[in-house]
Amino acid sequence: MFTFNYIDLGSISLYIIVIVSLGFYFKKKSSKSIQDYFLGANKLPWWAMGISGMSSFLDMAGTMLIVSFLYMLGPRGLYIEFRGGAVLILTFMLLWSGKWHYRSKCMTGAEWMIYRFGECWGGQFARIISSIAVIITTIGMLAYLIKALGLFMSMFLPFPPSVCALIMISIATVYTIISGFYGVVYTDLFQSVIIITTIIIISVLALTKIAQIDDIALLAEKVTGNSEWIKSSIKMEVSMPAGYEAYSDLFLLASFYFIRNMLTGISSDGADPKYFGARSERECGTLTFLWTSLMMFRWPMMMGFAVLGIIMVNNFFPDQAVLNEAANFIKMYNPEITLQNWPENISNIINNYDKFPIEFITRLESILQNDWQTKLQLISFNGTVNTENIVPAVLLFNIPAGLKGFFFVAFVASALSTFNASVNKTAGYFTRDIFQRYLTTNATNKQLLTATYSFIAVLVFLGYILAYQVESINQIWGWIVMGLGGGLAIPSALKFYWWRYNGGGYAIGTTTGIITAVIEIINFPEHTEWERFLIISIISLAATIIGTFLTKPTDKKVIDNFYKTTRPFGFWKPFKNKLAPEVKKQMVREHKFEILSVPFVLGWQVSLFLIPMQLMINSYHDLGITSVIFIICLICIYMLWYRNLPPKI
């Protein structure tokens, strides 16, 4: 099925030409040195990096996944996305982890391990294992992005998801390789304009549709079966469709995801190139505040998609029993079809229906009737609405020819913004922390860049292969966040807050966590996400503590330098007592305001995301409560955090 006209194709072609041209424009600048390639030579403005951060976090895969939960639960879908989509880690990056990493003057989070643990075997091993952990995580993240990109594009183009993803990822890899961090930031600025324009249009379109409906709550209940779809308050238990039963215990899961985000946030998420490349501590805070604020625009758009999805499903399937009938008929025709290869099979039926027996297609048309190809893309393996395809289906159904290309570009742009940021960051770990440090210590700038280019190509290839070995984008995201994340959270957090913690403890804990995460997903795929996180975290914690006490403490001079420059809070009494009284007093004051700010920044961030969704669906009672929380939190943020930022340089 091909849905584009010449205007659409012109929009897509222009987008590709611009991003590739930007890549070549920044090639000379980024290739001067690896400092230029990975950090923009610390010359990029904070506002540009803040906008780039928003663009890189506004990924297409996450958008498709979050829309699926908003479609099922209404605003309460936000609480499930405490696992990562609500980006609560930005709170901790804003308050302290970003500036703590800036103070190190390192280039990567793995190089930071030497700064923390020294040049001993533990520090060296921690640096290597940290690099490997980031590489493995990025391969999983790329698989997640590539899987979603293929699913999205295949709904517009007459090719299977794997081919669609291969075409676009190949183009993205070329401009990512040649442009470096300059390209990441300035390409993101260009793509942000496209994305924000799309957000506005979709939000207005959804509001127009809602205005024509007597009661959106009643319609949502009819379509989703959720009688409290319009509510925002968290609930102990909710009803979920087949395939999503694991999310029924909403309060328990949200609480667990919240704790998990706190663990991640207080650990290493400040190890972003934007903080290593910032020009001051103040800019670390202001770029993150802008970054977080801009993330707000994502939520009315996603709620708009959810509402438009509800209207579309109501029009397409007044009787949703046909979903199960169609799914069973397809599985009866092809008994070998599985959950994993369902998208490829559906794409094949839609785009190559003339190659199937006429009686099969005729029967399928009689079940689904008009627009059977569009409807078919909304049918899941379980015979329910395929909520992960709501976004592309809405675009196909609601956007006229001539504008489809622009919206197609916007969502591809959101995917590629995340792609290029992740790839550039991970390439830094390989080049700086493995290749330059251990493989070719006297490498020339040309050799370093060649190694970087080669590594990026291999990294993307592995991500592509993994993408088509898993069942869904939700499965990949769940393993990255709750499986692999569980193995890395504890070892990453302790390095800031416990002076006795050493490189040996980090290396042993992280290695154990990664191995456990891989073994667990292979042998126990039936585990829920919270079970997975809990099991892996406990094992990783035990290995970390044992490894710490089985190996020598870090050299006192190394820790003393780390503590004086980074100035973290936690269990640092032996080193804190060495500080001059004035320095100690200033540091205690800084820590007090940072910790006091946490609940207000979290409250501000969650309410910031809820308010536009509540406005979108006319949930005025909940909006009043949320608005009061938002105003109180914003005032407290100003008093406790913003007024205490370092002065402008």
The pLDDT of 143-157, averaged and rounded, is: 79
Q: How many CB atoms lie within 10 A of CB 616?
A: 22
pLDDT tens for each residue of 617-628: 988 899 999 999
The pLDDT of 11-40, averaged and rounded, is: 77
The pLDDT of 424-444, averaged and rounded, is: 83
Sequential DSSP letters for 99-148: HHHHTTT-SSTTHHHHHHH-SSHHHHHHHHHHHHHHHHHHHHHHHHHHHH
The single-letter code of the amino acid at 559 is I
Distances (CA, A) of 598 to 90, 256, 602, 635: 11, 18, 6, 13
| Closest by CA position to 144, among listed 511, 602, 578, 480 | 480
DSSP state of 55: H
118 or 156: which leads in pLDDT: 118
Rounded Cα distance, 393 and 385, in Å: 11
What percentage of the chain carries pLDDT values higher than 90?
A: 14
User: How does the average pLDDT of the chain come out, rounded?
Assistant: 84
- Specify the pLDDT at position 639: 94
pLDDT tens for each residue of 329-374: 888 888 888 877 787 788 788 878 888 888 888 888 888 888 788 7
pLDDT band at 414 (very low <50, low <70, confident <90, very high): confident
Kindly state the tokens that stand for 114. 């030497």
- Specify the pLDDT at position 104: 84
**Whole-prediction pTM value?**
0.81
Contacts of 316 (CB under 8 A, 6+ apart): 371, 374, 375, 378
- Specify the pLDDT at position 3: 64
> Which residue spans within 171-292 are E strands per DSSP?
none
- Specify the pLDDT at position 472: 56
Q: Domain extents for the chain?
A: 6-312+402-644, 318-384
The pLDDT of 72-79, averaged and rounded, is: 91
Distance of CA 386 to the CA centre of its chain: 21
The architecture that CATH gives domain 6-312+402-644 is Up-down Bundle (1.20)
Rounded Cα distance, 410 and 416, in Å: 10
pLDDT tens for each residue of 236-278: 888 887 777 778 888 888 888 888 777 777 766 656 778 877 8
Assign 379 to helix, strand or coil.
Answer: strand
| Closest by CA position to 401, among listed 2, 9, 4, 1 | 4
Rounded Cα distance, 547 and 479, in Å: 25
- The phi-psi region of residue 180 (left if phi > 0; otherwise alpha if psi is between -120 and 50; otherwise beta) is left
